[in-house]
Amino acid sequence: MSDMLTHWAVFDDSLRLMRLDDSIERAFIEASEREPQIARLGALTRGGGKWMHPLLAEARDKWADPDAHPLIDRRLAWVVGGITHQACDTVAKALLSKHAGSEWNLTHEVLQRNPEVKGREGEVDPDRVQECSAYYDAYVFRKVYLDGKESPFTTKFLSADWGPGAEALEEFVGAMFQRSLLSAHTLRPPDSSEGHEAFLAWQDEVFKFMQPRYLFPKWWIRAFNDPDPAKMQEYAVETEFYLDTDPVVAVARRVHRGEKVSAEEIRAASAEDTNQSTYGQALELSLRYLRNGTAYWNHKAEKLVAPNAYKPKWAAAE
């Protein structure tokens, strides 16, 4: 749900710094560079605590086998993206929940129309959550992706000038995306002999794979093209979300500009509790988790330690 640009930015900045940091396994970099879109998919994928470790173990065991590539590159790239996702979620969800005034995960479940949270719709403000998220994403779009001049974006990405057909195109693309999601699963209808209940169960399963299109680009386009100074302050964009003065943010931007940065500088800038902003802390934590992954890769740790430390309050309250 939302924060796509922030999650991708944490991944891309992590990759920038990983290339210069010899404390992080080279295979992580190679896989991410060979399969950047798979890595970015991992950076948006939830539930990493369940799938990251077994896939990392698979990649470690087969990396030296030439016949395992390129499939093993894809598996490892997805894990690297997932590791950065865990780090980003740990700090970003808390800030978004705080300034949007709605618990992040509960808002997500309400917008997904999860039956388990039926009746709790009044506890969240989806528009405010989207707006707050959009302000954060629009800011990293400027800082990390240089207003769309950096891959994988273009300067038209958040353009407000799409003409009268933009909404129709958005609806069409959304429908095609749903079709793609459904085609990725085996959802064969039951035989008529299996009874009415089996048919209803099949349709419920289909509905599980349908994701309501609940995020609206207007919030992101507005936040990027016409940011309200009062909203910038209200959502603490330049005071809590992103600080140019955070050491790890500063070295990432230096690398981005092509300046020389040493591995020692990166490690010092990403030391525990060195950074104050949410983005800085996410990047700091991402590098720490990647070093934890390196320890596992080199048989110096029994498992990958990269938890999503954010715990939704609404679940415990039920």
Express each pLDDT in 11-65 by its tens digit.
Answer: 999 999 999 999 999 999 999 999 999 999 999 888 888 899 999 999 999 999 9
Alpha-carbon span 270 to 285, nearest angstrom: 8
Q: Which of 71-80, 166-175, 245-254 shows the lowest mean pLDDT across its residues?
A: 166-175
pLDDT score at 1: 40
Burial class of 197 by CB neighbour count within 10 A (0 to 12, 13 to 18, 19+): exposed
The answer to whether 9 touches 140, Cβ cutoff 8 Å, is: yes
* CA atoms within 13 A of residue 276's CA, in its CB half-sphere: 9
| Domain range summary for the chain, segments of one domain joined by + | 4-130+229-317, 155-214
CA gap 161, 17 in Å, rounded: 35
Q: What is the DSSP string of 296-318?
A: HHTTSSSS---------HHHHH-
Band the pLDDT of 194: cuts 50, 70, 90: confident
pLDDT in tens, 233-261: 999 999 999 999 999 999 999 999 999 99
- Tokens 């509905």, located at residue: 207
Centroid of chain to Cα 200: 34
Structure tokens at 136: 């954060």
